[in-house]
Amino acid sequence: MNRFGIIAKPSEEKAVSLVEELSAWLKEKGKEVYLDRETATVMRREEGILRSRLPEISDVIVSIGGDGTLLSAARVVGESGIPILAVNMGSLGFITAITLEELYPVFERIVRGDYEYDERMMLVCHVHRMGERVANYTVLNDVVINKGALAKIIDIEAWVDEFYLTTFKADGLIISTPTGSTAYSLSAGGPIVYPNLECILVTPICPHTLTNRPIVLPPSATVRAKLKSRETDVLLTLDGQVGFGLNEEDVIEVRRSEKPLKLIRSPFKDYFSILRTKLKWGER
């Protein structure tokens, strides 16, 4: 790998200083470094690149921040197939498993071509309104239909392929990947799913009918959810970061992305050690 695109959390002072150090280190190794425009602006540089262009000119994208920064980078990478190296600036993240202490040992391996990556399934989401597609998104974690703070319980008619599933009366509905199983879905009572598996999770949020439970679907399934409520305060949220206002009769169609996200693996820890650390398993 010779071309490194860097996306950092510009509000994190430590992240900006780390970008400076890492850029200098990579250039000493003869590598090309491209900064996204937001990071370059904070660093008072003029050579910033639009995030959407980084996958075109990079062999790898380096995400520096936390899980949120990685989710933003994943949407930029989309279905391009460019791998991501995710570095966590604070405590260990579920998906940003590489810590600051591991940073340069990991980069030494990457420069030598000695690395492995996991393939994480992503979801493509289309919003249809009055028969027309009005929005398109690609997400790593989840697609969430959620009512506003003052809205009543909403009705969401759900279909799997050509089969009617049910009409959820709930605060909302989460459609997630295995990677997203440890995010909002877990808080709503969904299962933990090993992230390398391929499946789609459908988890109702605070359902009115307590027998409405989460369901795990095959990766080939297409999930369609139609909003059947007249509430005006209903939002579609993508990876917890991007919002889109929904109207009655809008149809949200979710399916597996054709290409998975390539996430470079930490050689120093495994997924189960991350679970034990984050969820404090084994502690009393």
Whole-model pTM: value is 0.91
Which residues are known catalytic residues?
A: 67
Write down the residue that tokens 């997400």 correspond to: 139
Phi, psi of 133 (to 5 degrees): -80, 120
Asked if 114 and 146 sit in the same domain, the reply is: no
Nearest to 64, CA basis, from 90, 34, 33, 83:
90
Handedness of CA 243, 187, 62, 139 (dihedral sign): negative
Q: Position of tokens 């509430």? A: 231
Tell me if 284 is assigned to some domain.
no
- Per-residue tens of pLDDT for the chain, all 284 residues: 889 999 988 777 788 888 999 999 999 999 999 999 888 888 777 678 988 899 999 999 999 988 889 999 999 998 888 999 999 887 667 888 788 888 899 999 988 888 899 999 999 999 999 999 999 999 999 999 999 877 789 999 999 999 999 999 999 999 999 999 999 999 999 999 999 999 999 999 999 998 999 999 999 999 999 999 887 789 999 999 999 999 999 999 999 999 999 999 888 888 898 889 888 888 87
Question: CA–CA separation, 11 vs 35, rounded Å?
Answer: 15
Residue range(s) defining the domain that contains residue 113: 3-120+260-279
| Rg, C-alpha atoms of the chain | 20
Task: Name residues whose C-beta falls within 8 Å of residue 112's C-beta, 6 or more positions apart in sequence.
Answer: none
Tell whether 183 is covered by a domain. yes
> What is the domain count for the chain?
2
Q: Are residues 96 and 193 in the same domain?
A: no
Percent helix, percent strand, percent coil in the chain, to nearest 5: 25, 35, 40
Place of tokens 């790998």: 1
Label residue 84 exposed, middle or buried (CB < 10 Å: 0-12, 13-18, 19+).
buried
